[in-house]
């Protein structure tokens, strides 16, 4: 899985962006991509693990977990 840092997240709109550790590009993330139990929002600066998939407007995050989570995907 890729790793990155939450760069922005709007709780009202339930979406944001993750900055990738390797490419330093920002990728869109919608709250439905968050696979952590009980999480429906992210905080700026949180470390995350995720996969990328093609969305309507380009690559976006899917299967997102907090970096220190024990969940493996």
Mean pLDDT for the stretch of residues 49-68: 96
User: Would you kindly state where each structural domain of the chain is located, as residue ranges?
Assistant: 2-66
The whole-chain average pLDDT of the chain stands at: 93
Q: Distance between alpha carbon 5 and the CA centroid of its chain, in Å?
A: 8
Mean pLDDT is lowest, of 12-16, 54-58, 59-63, 67-71, for: 67-71
Decide if 42 contacts 9 (C-beta within 8 A). Answer: yes
Give domain 2-66's CATH architecture.
Answer: Beta Barrel (2.40)
Cα–Cα distance for residue pair 58/73, rounded to 1 Å: 22
Cα separation, 69 vs 58, in Å, equals 27
pLDDT for 19-28, tens place per residue?
999 999 999 9
Report the alpha-carbon distance of residue 3 to residue 22 in Å, rounded. Answer: 8
Alpha carbon distance 23, 14 (integer Å): 24
């Amino acid at each position: 899985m890729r790793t990155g840092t939450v760069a922005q997240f709007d709780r009202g709109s339930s979406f944001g962006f993750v900055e990738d550790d390797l490419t330093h590009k920002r990728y869109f993330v919608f709250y439905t991509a968050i696979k952590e139990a009980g999480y429906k929002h992210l905080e700026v600066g949180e470390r995350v693990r995720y996969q990328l998939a093609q969305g309507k407007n380009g690559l976006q995050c899917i299967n997102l977990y907090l970096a220190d989570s024990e969940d493996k995907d």
